[in-house]
Chain A
Amino acid sequence: MRHFVFEVRESLMIALRAIRANKVRSVLTMLGIVIGITSVVLMTTAIKGIDNAFQSGISALGSDVLYIDKWAWFGNVDWWKLRNRRNINMDHYEKFKAQAKLPLAVAPVINSRQTIKYGDRRVESVFLNGSTSDYLATTNFTFDLGRFYSEIESSSSRYVAVLGSEVAKNLFPLGDALDKAIKIGGVNFKVVGVLAEQGSFILGSFNPDNQAFVPIGTIFKHFLGQSFGSITINVRAQTPALVEETKAEAEGIMRKIRGLSYHEENDFSINQQEGLMSNYNQVVGVIQVAGLFITGLALFVGAIGIMNIMFVSVKERTKEIGIRKAIGAKKRTILGQFIFESATICLLGGLIGLLLAILLSMMVEQFLPTSVQYDAVILAIVISLITGVVAGFAPAYTAAKMDPVEALRYE
């Protein structure tokens, strides 16, 4: 054991001396590993970032919420078929609400993109949701300020609005949004609440913090005629376990309301976060495989560079190997020495790569909520060490099995 510690320490010193003696060569050799490790770390960091963004975005949707819609989020229904479906209107919603027994909450939703102004501040293209006061119960909203609009406000289509955090931040940098009169698409509304930040949604341009919520009647009145556009019915199950049952009930009721006979297919879709999730996993899966391939390639090229330079190093130091063997170095000592040297070069390269990745990820952070995590650091260190050991093995083995007499004779 003590033997081993001395040999390791000796190996480290030899390695550092050898690296110092050939600075330029060592740095050039490291470059491959630096690039490889940088890409490994950036890759994991980016994937983590996409994941974080998506998770926080998707959790805003709620896993126990069904979205009854004319449009299907995913699936293989032809676009023109969806296009030809009848709209879902408020009448359908009223009937559905009256008949459905299982849901915790049911809310109609219709959307519009509008500009919101306060004084000379303005936010363009805000995702404006019209719904009823029941909408709140279909979400996991928490409030920074105020409240959601009440049942009376919603049923009598009062001009009250709830703002997403980003909208509120842009219009009211001082955070004094409550009770202020704003203009949504030119119409006066009073702010009654501001939502807490939810985090950005990565797929598509949808940003849950760039929304506003008003009673659905005001949308029909000012922003589109009731005959245009199809509403979505948001249905929240009582518990996640009851989602499937709630969905089955919803499908039955909708078919009845829409007057479909048993051989006709659904002319509506019941969307779920789950569909989004599996779609997302496919996308991320592709990114991961591509990333793995690219980083694997970079590391492979780096490893070949290391192996090559280690072979050169072994050849150059044949005499040294002979000397060491003559005075008692065993095979495994020589083997260890050169593997150690290769691992040290790779580890140094890995650490440089890690540093580079941390700097680069600070730039990535502008777009994705992410930073280099512990596991990426550990991954970088482990991978560079493994690369070093694997790449160093063949050269080290050649060194270890050299004949001492031949090696000493080498000039």
Chain B
Amino acid sequence: MNIINIEHISKIYQVGSEEVHALADVSLRINKNEYVAIMGPSGSGKSTLMNMLGCLDTPTSGKYEFTGVNVSQMSDNELAKIRNKEIGFVFQTFNLLPRSDALHNVELPLIYAGIPSTERKERAAQALIDVGLGDRMHHKPNELSGGQRQRVAVARAIVTNPSIILADEPTGNLDSKTGEEIMLLFNEIYEKGNTIILVTHEEYIAEHAARIIRLKDGFIENDEIVASRYIPNFKSTQDN
């Protein structure tokens, strides 16, 4: 089943008198339980595409169907609802609320979903346990390491059981070993049947995905299935 179906999408930014075509006539389909890496040089439109896919931004033209529903004409409130229920974001800079502890950060999407307090706390705690932070629930972001912060962000992304996880350079701010731990986490999530789209600069990160889309100057240059994707194993990240 198609989760994402975009047809002839473009995004044009007006900078002074100049038009910047961040995305130019992009069409793309992504199915359930795909693991897609989006690559490309800086300024090629990766983040713009991610924002579009995540319903954070609307295209200048073109059609976007998300789980069969046309979202390109939706109101801000409807988009907020979709982001809340169907999409989990993981950002390069973690984007956690600095004054809230890990548990509350993970609870937040459930609060906006109107889930009652006890259920909310249980689910958030479970998500934190799933990412290996059962013993850090009441730590604030500045009391956690970079890798741990990104785990909290991943827990926040999966706690609502979204249709897709969108990660924009999730390992960009981490050293390679910590990055590999996060990729292990994504692998687990993928193997449970989730759909993941991640943006990266690094070939070795992209090799975790089953499909790699390469962007250049706002259009898709290459879109290929990875013959044998790299499957990280638990041991390789837990040896010291």
Contact = CB atoms under 8 A, between A and B. Distances in A.
Contacts of B57: 404-405
Interface stretch (B80-88, B198-206, B208-216): B80-88
Interface stretch (A1-9, A124-132, A379-387): A1-9
B51 A3 contact: no
A275 to B, nearest CB: 64
Contacts of B91: 408
A405 B95 contact: no
Given A3-B114, A10-B111, A405-B51, A327 B56 contact: no
Most-contacted residue by chain A among B54, B56, B100, B109 (CB, 10 A): B56
B76 to A, nearest CB: 6
A323 B84 contact: no
Contact of B108 (A322, A327, A404): A327
Contacts of B54: 326
Interface in A308-358: 319-320, 322-333
A327 B107 CA distance: 11
Interface of B: 51, 54, 56-57, 76-77, 80-81, 83-85, 89, 91, 95-97, 99-100, 108-109, 111-117, 156
Pick from A326, A331, A408 the residue with the most CB of B within 10 Å.
A326
B95 A319 contact: yes
A339 to B, nearest CB: 17
A106 to B, nearest CB: 78
A21 interface: yes
Given A331-B76, A408-B91, A323 B114 contact: no
Contact of A327 (B51, B77, B100, B156): B156
A317 to B, nearest CB: 10
Given A326-B83, A326-B89, A405-B56, A333 B99 contact: no
Secondary structure type dominating chain A contacts: helix
Contacts of A7: 111-112
Nearest to A334: B80
B95 A323 contact: yes
A186 B149 CA distance: 94
B167 to A, nearest CB: 13
Interface string A1-35: 01100110010000001100100000000000000
A328 B89 contact: no
B116 A329 contact: no
A324 to B, nearest CB: 7
Contacts of A330: 76-77, 80-81, 112
B97 A333 contact: no
A382 B85 CA distance: 37
Most buried by A among B80, B114, B116: B80
B116 A2 contact: yes
Contacts of B76: 330-331
A326 B95 CA distance: 10
Contacts of B116: 2, 6
Contacts of A333: 112
A408 B85 contact: no
Interface residues of A, number: 25
A199 B113 CA distance: 62
Given A6-B114, A405-B51, A405-B57, A328 B99 contact: no
Nearest to B104: A13
Contacts of A405: 51, 56-57
Contacts of B83: 325-328
Looking at A21, A319, A327, the one whose CB has the most chain B CB atoms below 10 A away is: A327
Given A326-B89, A328-B85, 9 more contacts: A2-B114, A2-B116, A6-B116, A320-B97, A323-B95, A326-B56, A327-B109, A328-B109, A404-B57
Contacts of B112: 7, 324, 327-330, 333
Given A319-B95, A323-B95, A328 B51 contact: no
A279 to B, nearest CB: 60
A322 to B, nearest CB: 8
A186 B1 CA distance: 114
Given A2-B116, A7-B111, A328 B80 contact: yes
Contacts of A3: 114
B110 to A, nearest CB: 9
Nearest to A333: B112
A332 B75 CA distance: 13
A320 B100 CA distance: 11
Nearest to B109: A327
Contacts of B109: 327-328
A325 B80 contact: yes
A327 B84 contact: yes
Interface in A223-266: none
A328 B95 contact: no
A310 B47 CA distance: 31
Given A323-B95, A323-B97, A405-B56, A331 B77 contact: yes
Nearest to B157: A327
28 contacts: A2-B114, A6-B111, A6-B117, A7-B111, A7-B112, A21-B99, A320-B97, A323-B96, A324-B97, A324-B108, A324-B112, A325-B80, A326-B54, A326-B83, A326-B89, A327-B89, A327-B109, A327-B156, A328-B80, A328-B85, A328-B113, A330-B81, A331-B80, A333-B112, A404-B57, A405-B51, A405-B57, A408-B91
Interface string A380-411: 00000000000000000000000011001000
A290 to B, nearest CB: 44
B56 A328 contact: no
B95 A404 contact: no
Nearest to B94: A323
Contacts of B113: 328
Contacts of A331: 76-77, 80
A326 B54 CA distance: 8
A327 B160 CA distance: 10
A91 B54 CA distance: 103
